[in-house]
Structure 1
């Protein structure tokens, strides 16, 4: 392994662990845990490539410190889950970027996840239907064991032909990936909530539609949601040992 490659891994580790500490200090424990684990793995890779004993000793100490903190967070999170007291809040500010569905949901997706309930009254218009499609794609990429996605939304009050057609096409497409899409409609729905059957509940003030409209089809952020500007909104995350269906 070249020296440049090692220094590149080292820079990546520093960046990820800096983010882990920031999230840790903000009380966003589950997210920080993911970053700690990723950063520790990068440092272990650096350690394997180092020949200098003094540097190796320095890295071993660093790794031990981060591993100890990650274990403390894991215990703390598990205890809060056990007590039914887990609550975390993320504030997305106006025009913020870096909040794609992958970034927001990945810390709460585990290999045990197989069923998801989405309650969102606004999966009706073209951009909202695309948001839901992106969310489904994220689930397929992040977890290979998803079997069922339930959507509870409201019907378009005008012409609901496009809504029905889009969701029908998505149902067929997901079926090709071994995933069942169950769509239900309600005229009284107003809450926005996403539940995972591994116990996590994510409530977003604006539901899945927290992105601003891009300036054009060839402007930055049109394809990559990490680069898309956001509306101001709050995200509340809870954990329950007994996930109720909607």
Structure 2
């Protein structure tokens, strides 16, 4: 085996070992969704090690480990699926202050399966200009798919100042624009709304401490992160993800 190939295999082994160590730690902490991702990534790395090494004894050891990890990953999948069926699934994501990489696609795409056709957005702060742009970008994500959204329900609060007419005008413009894509936007207002949550009719519910408005103001109109939310620094907030049998409140 060439020196370069040997170094490459060793790097794969280290990466696989570290990933599996993290998977086990998350598993022991009952953070099952995150541990499952690490198990899957680690298994892929170890399979690459098996493919790259010529040492039959090492191949055998890694195949045994891979088999054990695959069995555990399947058990976790079954556990997660049972929690979903029982309406007990809960995943929490902590977004640190100034963290990047948490654009709407990153946060929501995992839950926007093809069967999603109806979305409920409850957020009291869809009224200032930047908040209205946040909602527009969220709608753009829904239109792009892979879900087939036909109806979006927005429950928010009125702007209490002079910006009310602008708020209503912008929401009406978004509504008309969505209609061009076959999507109906239903808008309701409440003076007592406080909670922030987003629900999809496939059973997923996402509660964000700051609602859709968890991004910091960009330094300028031509600074990195102005257009791409994945590059925009965030405010500290917590995201709670649940799976319930029914999303529409009665």
TM-score normalised by L of structure 1? 0.78
Q: Is the 8 A contact 1:117 1:245 kept in 2?
A: no
Which of 80, 92, 99 is 1:96 aligned to? 99
> What are the within-5 Å matches in structure 2 for residues 1-246 of structure 1?
27-30=30-33, 33=36, 67-157=70-160, 158-245=162-249
The superposition leaves residues 55-91 of structure 1 with CA deviations (integer Å, 9 ceiling, x where unpaired) of 9989977775664444222211111123332222111
Of 29-38 and 70-79, more deviation after overlay is shown by 29-38
Q: Is the 8 A contact 2:209 2:237 kept in 1?
A: yes
User: In 2, Cα distance between the equivalents of 1:197 and 1:25?
Assistant: 32
The superposition leaves residues 130-174 of structure 1 with CA deviations (integer Å, 9 ceiling, x where unpaired) of 111111122223423111110000111123222112111211221
Deviation at 1:47, TM superposition (A): 9.7
Cα pair distance change 1:54/1:88, threshold 3 Å: same
Q: Is the 8 A contact 2:113 2:146 kept in 1?
A: yes
User: In 2, Cα distance between the equivalents of 1:241 and 1:201?
Assistant: 10
Q: Is the 8 A contact 2:36 2:77 kept in 1?
A: yes
How many pairs are equivalent? Answer: 245
Deviation at 1:215, TM superposition (A): 0.5
User: In 1, Cα distance between the equivalents of 2:149 and 2:244?
Assistant: 19
- Structure 2 residue ranges without an equivalent (≥5): 1-15
The superposition leaves residues 25-79 of structure 1 with CA deviations (integer Å, 9 ceiling, x where unpaired) of 765544665676688789999999xxxx999989977775664444222211111
TM-score normalised by L of structure 2? 0.77
Cα pair distance change 1:126/1:73, threshold 3 Å: same
- Structure 1 residue ranges without an equivalent (≥5): 1-12
Deviation at 1:116, TM superposition (A): 0.8
| Secondary structure at the counterpart of residue 138 of structure 1 | helix
Deviation at 1:201, TM superposition (A): 1.1
Q: Is the 8 A contact 2:112 2:147 kept in 1?
A: no
| Secondary structure at the counterpart of residue 236 of structure 1 | strand
| Secondary structure at the counterpart of residue 168 of structure 1 | helix
